[in-house]
């Protein structure tokens, strides 16, 4: 099946830009939708693990791709196998430290969910990697929640500061959404792969399901995407004391005083964002409103997608859709 062959190659090309070889089950789960490679007049139907495995065997036999142990990569790129083994070992220790620290975030009032994102979620870390997270806050208290997270991580000395180019093992709060506005509005292949691979760190199962129900657009890019609900069981269960502290602050702030405080900290935070020249730099995106805060001033997205498009062309895979970024500032 040419369409499956090309989708597998496209998936390997995408992750090659991240220097990240994949197992066959990862290829199946992250498989780029064939409709983005070729135009179809009718539906494709299910693409099973066995079909992916059979096609991979053909590609390896014809030496179009390489294989080492359980990992697959593009021909001539065996070095990324070694890089992944090393990255996995680093990620194991970083993840343990991350999960020990993330429970302290439960002290923050109005925090409803924490996902690990970026290299930590993918297991593609190096020694200098920080902890990227997606935060879900209660609607109407987004800026209050952000302030408390800032205070908690500052006291612990684990908050990445804006002047730090490298901040190993520190929290990078680069994306906040609210529990009443769970849809990610900036769609792209890059974002689909990113949000499909989020790892629940401290969040209830119901909210994970609601998040992915609100983001079914991911399937436009990833054909076999299904939320990994079993991973919720591995998320941190915060202690009662931490939850009681957060609950106490919520009890006080669920009032006119809380509304005033939210408006005040929103004005202060938004003013700092508006007056920061980085907000208006090209090649990234800064979002600040009542429902979302996103801080990606120098996004990796455009580089990844440009390299992806170029490398697909080099392999002779002519795509029906040329992948574009999600609307970064030009």
- Per-residue pLDDT tens over the stretch 233-248: 567 888 899 999 999 9
Q: 57 pLDDT exceeds 60?
A: yes
Cβ neighbors of 57 (< 8 A, separation 6 or more) are none
pLDDT class of 163 with cuts at 50, 70, 90? confident
Determine the average pLDDT of the residues in 160-166: 84
- Per-residue pLDDT tens over the stretch 256-266: 999 999 999 99
Higher pLDDT: 166 or 243? It is 243
Q: Rounded to an integer, what distance in angstroms lies between the CA atom of residue 236 and that of residue 99?
A: 7
Neighbours of 259 (CB within 10 A): 14
Q: Rounded to an integer, what distance in angstroms lies between the CA atom of residue 120 and that of residue 134?
A: 12
- Tell me the two tokens of residue 243: 């939850």
Phi, psi angles (nearest 5°) of residue 131:
-110, 95
* Among candidate residues 187, 186, 193, 213, the one with its CA nearest the CA of residue 27: 193
Measured between alpha carbons, how far apart are the two ends of the chain, in Å?
39
Q: What residue spans define the domains of the chain?
A: 2-84+302-314, 87-218+226-297
Determine the average pLDDT of the residues in 67-81: 97
The pLDDT assigned to 194 comes to 97
3-state secondary structure of 45: coil
Question: For residues 21 and 84, is the Cβ–Cβ distance under 8 A?
Answer: yes
Question: For residues 135 and 144, is the Cβ–Cβ distance under 8 A?
Answer: no
The pLDDT assigned to 236 comes to 86
The pLDDT assigned to 49 comes to 92
- With a pLDDT cut of 70, the percent of the chain lying above it is 97
User: Within a 13 Å sphere around the CA of 100, how many CA atoms are in the beta-carbon half?
Assistant: 10
Neighbours of 134 (CB within 10 A): 24
CATH architecture of 2-84+302-314: Orthogonal Bundle (1.10)
168, burial (CB in 10 Å: exposed 0-12, middle 13-18, buried 19+): middle
Helix (H) or strand (E) holding 253: helix 240-253
pLDDT class of 181 with cuts at 50, 70, 90? very high
């Amino acid at each position: 099946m040419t369409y499956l062959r090309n989708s597998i190659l496209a998936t390997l090309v995408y992750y090659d830009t991240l220097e990240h070889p994949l197992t066959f089950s990862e290829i199946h789960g992250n498989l780029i939708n064939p409709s983005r490679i070729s135009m179809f007049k009718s539906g494709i139907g299910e693409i099973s693990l066995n079909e992916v495995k059979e096609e991979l065997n053909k590609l390896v036999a014809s030496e179009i791709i390489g294989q080492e142990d359980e990992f697959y990569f593009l021909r001539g790129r065996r070095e990324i196998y070694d890089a992944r083994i090393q990255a996995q070992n680093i990620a194991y220790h970083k993840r343990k430290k991350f999960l020990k620290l993330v429970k302290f975030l439960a002290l923050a009032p109005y925090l409803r969910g924490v996902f690990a994102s970026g290299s930590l979620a993918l297991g593609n870390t190096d020694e200098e990697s920080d902890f990227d997270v997606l935060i879900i806050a209660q609607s109407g208290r987004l800026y209050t929640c952000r302030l408390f997270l800032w205070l908690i991580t500052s006291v612990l000395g684990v908050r990445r500061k804006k002047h730090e180019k490298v901040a190993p093992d520190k929290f990078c709060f680069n994306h906040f959404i609210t529990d009443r506005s769970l849809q990610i509005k900036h769609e792209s292949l890059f974002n689909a792969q990113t949000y499909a691979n989020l790892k629940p760190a401290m969040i209830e199962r119901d909210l994970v399901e609601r998040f992915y129900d609100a983001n079914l657009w991911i399937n436009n890019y990833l054909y076999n995407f299904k939320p990994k609900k079993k991973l919720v069981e591995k998320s941190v269960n915060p202690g009662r004391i931490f939850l009681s502290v957060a609950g106490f602050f919520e009890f006080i702030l669920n009032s006119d005083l809380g509304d005033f405080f939210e408006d005040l900290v929103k004005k202060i935070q938004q003013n700092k964002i508006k007056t920061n020249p980085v907000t208006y730099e090209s090649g990234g995106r800064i979002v600040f409103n009542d429902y979302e805060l996103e801080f990606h001033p120098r996004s990796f997205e455009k580089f990844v997608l440009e390299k992806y498009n170029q490398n697909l062309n080099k392999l002779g895979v002519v795509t029906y859709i040329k992948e574009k970024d999600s609307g970064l500032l030009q």
